[in-house]
Amino acid sequence: MSRDLVNFMSYPPNLDDGGAAGKHLDQVALDSTYWSGYYIYNLFDADQSEVYFYTRLGPKGSLWTVTWAAEVGPDCGSLGWYMRTGSDNSPGNGYDDDGIGMMAGHLDGTFGAWLTLTDAFTGTTAPHDLYNAVQNKNAYGFYTYRIRIMGDDGAASSSISYNATDDAYHVDGGAGIWVVKALVDGKNASSSGYVCHLTGVRMNRMTSEGYFAG
């Protein structure tokens, strides 16, 4: 696991259900038949169920993508990805030019607007369809389109837009704590259910420097 690429992995304590106490560990099932040795489930068998991941992104100008893996099968739903800023009491602390700072400070209860991420495979913001006629627990290689942090440190997220200069989606939120959400949103008409078993999630840093002049 490369230190300059991985900012968080989908395993507690970064895994949360949005605030309810005692819902960390029961969202992870250990299962050796999956490549990761576990999968994230809990409410992921129902439409509109969601799970949150907390991380710290920066510096300003840095480029990121959400890389994820999930089971596909005849009873699987569709999964959408979103992110927003979370205001904290030390927005300039806990990240540096390698993008791998530890969480510092604490969330103060205010958040930016949810931004819908674009799927790199489909080129749209539509949820990624996990239906497949044959079950495959070890499907992998899904990721969102590139995201560039363009706001000042601690700025709240409010918009996301495509920039042709660097072929990336620019977000106006700044360096600091970000919340990434995976949401079960509908399903293929051929699917018999809404199962979404995530087997890995991470933030990939795509730049070695934070500066962007475009």
Q: List CB contacts of 19: < 8 A, sequence separation 6 or more.
A: none
CB 85 within 8 A of CB 112: yes
What is the pTM for the complete model shown?
0.80
CB 110 within 8 A of CB 87: yes
1 inside domain = no
Q: List CB contacts of 203: < 8 A, sequence separation 6 or more.
A: 6, 7, 8, 55, 57, 64, 65, 66, 67, 180
212 inside domain = no
213 inside domain = no
The C-alpha R_g of the chain, in whole angstroms, comes to: 17
30 inside domain = yes
86, burial (CB in 10 Å: exposed 0-12, middle 13-18, buried 19+): buried
Distance CA 161, CA 33 (A): 39
| pLDDT tens track for 166-201 | 999 999 999 888 888 889 999 999 999 999 888 888
* Structural domain boundaries, residue 23: 6-205
2-11, 119-128, 130-139: the lowest-pLDDT one: 2-11
- Mean pLDDT within 100-115: 68
79 inside domain = yes
pLDDT over 80 at 142, yes or no: yes
210 inside domain = no
Instruction: Please provide residue 27's backbone torsions phi and psi, each rounded to the nearest 5 degrees.
Output: -95, -5
| pLDDT tens track for 54-81 | 788 888 999 999 888 889 999 999 999 9
142 forms beta bridges with 68
> Positive or negative CA dihedral for 34, 38, 41, 42?
positive
214 inside domain = no
69 forms beta bridges with 200
Alpha carbon of residue 106 to chain centroid = 20
**Assigned token pair, 158:** 């409010």
Give the chain's domain count. Answer: 1
How much is the pLDDT for 127?
94
